[in-house]
Structure 1
């Protein structure tokens, strides 16, 4: 399956973005609503990923400080292709914005995948809504996945 990622405006698409994130994070992963919607949305860049039928299947955001977060994919689309497409597009946006570093706060089982792609651990493991996470940092110049093969 091919996926298409687009940058979207929070104010114009927040209903759609919230529906996806609520379905994934609030209902499926039991994140509290107040943690999921933390006030950074109006200041962040948002993307939406669609499937071959142009149906939205996921979303993600890039915060002003370079934090890539709120990557939510509907269960049927949690695969390497969709995840890589979202992540690569968000890294592309960070590069466009002139950021030098990107960050993720990922669940512990995903740390090795990020480390393989140029990320380094930052600080100690911390808890967010009862889930242990690790902050990781990557200079955009060290991000190993080819952006253009994933974006087009």
Structure 2
């Protein structure tokens, strides 16, 4: 499946913001039952966002990266979770980090997803903790670990 990936500035591209909110609402608020006040925090305006669209130009995935290299809010609509949509989000976020000179990125992964990220070169940092009722693990990785052939993330 082919995707179009857009970088989104929260302050300037309001059309994309509504689509990002829609994807995150479906995944985090409806599916995971995360309170809206926790999902849409004050960090959105300070982050660079990625929006992935399918061949019908429908928003299917999103994610963000903060100035400190923290990757978060990766959301993929259920129908697209067995595709490479998440890979597109992560690759673009890592590209943004590389462009900004961020050498180390972190992600707070749900415990069920830790092995996915460790297979991509991330390493656990600290212990498992609970956030919004979900067990999570902070993982860290050098951005340079991702300067590799296309398809390394799956």
Match for residue 96 of structure 2 among 69, 72, 93: 93
Aligned counterpart, 2:20: 17
Instruction: Indicate which of 79, 100, 107 corresponds to 1:104.
Output: 107
Q: Distance in 2 between matches of 1:55 and 1:112?
A: 29
CA distance in 1, matches of 2:49, 2:91: 13
Gaps of at least 5 residues in structure 2 are: none
Aligned length: 149
Which residue does 1:35 correspond to in 2?
Answer: 38
Distance 1:111 1:103 in 2: 12
TM-score, scaled to structure 2: 0.90
Specify every segment of 5 or more residues in structure 1 that has no aligned partner in the other structure, as ranges. Answer: none
- What is the aligned partner in structure 2 of residue 8 from structure 1? 8
Q: Which residue does 2:66 correspond to in 1?
A: 63
| 1:23 Cα deviation from its structure 2 partner | 1.2
Alignment match of 1:131 (pick from 134, 144, 150): 134
Work out whether residues 88 and 145 of structure 1, in 8 Å CA contact, stay in contact via their aligned partners in 2: no
What is the TM-score of this pair, normalised by structure 1? 0.91
C-alpha displacement of 1:144: 6.5
Q: How does 1:130-149 map to 2 (within 5 A)?
A: 130-143=133-146, 146=149
